[in-house]
């Protein structure tokens, strides 16, 4: 079932934008563009209030005052107020987030428009556009794995017997030696980055975003801009990110991104 969702998502991401974009180009041919460069593409680096990410956009400028854009994003989504900690019982512990069931990564594919608010003077300056986007999400929940120390106490000294890598279980994994005397275990730290990759579970959803784009490139065929906005990602099937908390039906974030690319015909 999970593989089916991924196949559907990838198919929609590739074929739907390509079809609509071809229609836009046909419509644009009927408009007097002058020296307007009708196509553009750009990459972006994004920092948001719950993580970071990367994105790609392609679009058609139907007129100088409005365009249609398609975007694709990949980013990390952390839980609100999560905190990284270390086990102070060890000299060189690995950091981890206590209570984290899954690491969540989100793939977005959407469509939107940008509307010109302030045109850049011919000698240069800043051009301001308002925008809105919406589309589909695929949340990829990767289980958290931890190194767990199992030990015994001999003559009041702690002797570690083994340190296996285990999927985090809030019912049996606790921080601090002595907290779980039944199993004599302790959390040493996080596992490797790719641990749990084979057990990723997809969560389909949708998103909407809006904000402002500030274009400051000195050349009309180059894109350099800063963007500030807010996004809401909604998941009809809630995503379990943290133990001891409710599952997440939605995430609301603010973000700042830097875009670079080009315009062309």
- The pLDDT tens digits of the residues spanning 13-71 come to 444 444 444 444 444 444 443 478 999 999 999 999 999 999 999 999 988 899 999 99
**Interacting residues of 172 by C-beta distance below 8 A, sequence separation 6+:** 180, 183, 185
**Interacting residues of 22 by C-beta distance below 8 A, sequence separation 6+:** none
Q: 93-127 burial, b for 16+ CB within 10 Å, e for fewer?
A: beebbbbbbbbbbbbbbbbbebebeeebeeeeeeb
Residue 118 is predicted with a pLDDT of 92
Residue 81 is predicted with a pLDDT of 82
Residue 247 is predicted with a pLDDT of 94
Question: Residue ranges per domain, the chain?
Answer: 2-83+104-141+200-264
* Topology of domain 2-83+104-141+200-264, CATH: Porin (2.40.160)
Question: Which parts of the chain sit beneath pLDDT 70?
Answer: 1-34, 176-183
To which residue do tokens 């730290």 refer? 189
Residue 179 is predicted with a pLDDT of 56
Residue 222 is predicted with a pLDDT of 94
Residue 156 is predicted with a pLDDT of 73
């Amino acid at each position: 079932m999970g593989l089916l969702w991924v196949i559907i998502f990838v198919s929609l991401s590739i074929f739907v934008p390509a079809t609509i974009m071809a229609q836009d180009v046909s419509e644009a041919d009927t408009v007097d563009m002058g020296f307007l460069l009708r196509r553009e593409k750009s990459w972006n680096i994004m920092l948001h209030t719950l993580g970071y990410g990367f994105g790609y956009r392609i679009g058609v400028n139907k007129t100088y005052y409005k365009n249609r854009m398609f975007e694709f994003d990949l980013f990390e989504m952390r839980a609100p107020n999560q905190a990284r900690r270390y086990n102070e019982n060890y000299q060189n512990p690995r950091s981890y987030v206590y209570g984290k069931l899954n690491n969540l990564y989100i793939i977005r594919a959407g469509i939107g428009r940008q509307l010109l608010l302030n045109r850049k003077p011919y000698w240069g300056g800043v051009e301001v556009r308002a925008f809105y986007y919406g589309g589909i999400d695929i949340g990829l929940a990767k289980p958290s794995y931890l190194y767990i120390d199992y030990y015994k106490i001999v003559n009041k000294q702690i002797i570690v017997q083994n340190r296996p890598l285990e999927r985090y279980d809030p019912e049996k994994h606790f921080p601090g030696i002595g907290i779980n005397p039944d199993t004599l275990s302790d959390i040493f730290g996080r596992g490797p980055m790719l641990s749990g990759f084979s057990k990723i579970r997809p969560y389909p959803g949708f998103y909407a975003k809006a904000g402002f784009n500030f274009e400051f490139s000195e050349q009309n065929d180059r894109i350099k801009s800063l963007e500030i906005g807010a996004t809401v990602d909604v998941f009809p099937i809630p995503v379990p990110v943290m133990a001891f908390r409710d599952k997440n039906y939605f995430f609301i974030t603010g973000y700042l991104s830097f875009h670079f690319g080009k315009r062309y015909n």
